[in-house]
Amino acid sequence: CFSSDHEEMLGDHNLRGKFVPWQGSVSAPLICAGPGMQKGAVVERPVSTMDLAATFLDYANIPITTDPKMTSRSLRTRLKTGVDDDYRSFVSSGLQNMPFGTP
């Protein structure tokens, strides 16, 4: 799997930085390839690079810890089938320390 850090707004909405949950701040590529993965599959629902931890554990057949509960989710089913119907509809971040939109 290859990814990058999230974006920087770069002037979108007259803002710079990573402190708002808008497209220019949260979008980053995540590309995975390997045996058993659906070629050309695109996951449309939000995922997080934190989900890579659960994904790697899943591929290694290591149980995902439940105490304390991991909030990351394995992308294995989505990578294998290309189907993401049962995945969450949002991703949250614990880094927000001010109201959204406050520069």
Instruction: Judge whether residue 63 has pLDDT over 80.
Output: yes
**How far is the C-alpha of 37 from the C-alpha of 61, rounded, in Å?**
16
Render pLDDT for 74-89 as a digit per residue (tens, 0 to 9). 888 888 887 766 666 6
Per-residue 3-state assignment (H helix, E strand, C coil) for 85-100: CCCCCCCCCCCCCCCC
Identity of the residue numbered 94: G
Q: Quick check: 71 pLDDT over 80?
A: no
Strands 30-31 and 2-3: antiparallel
pTM metric for this prediction: 0.66
Residue 96, pLDDT > 60, answer no
List of residues 6+ apart from 74 with CB closer than 8 A:
51, 54, 55, 57, 58, 64
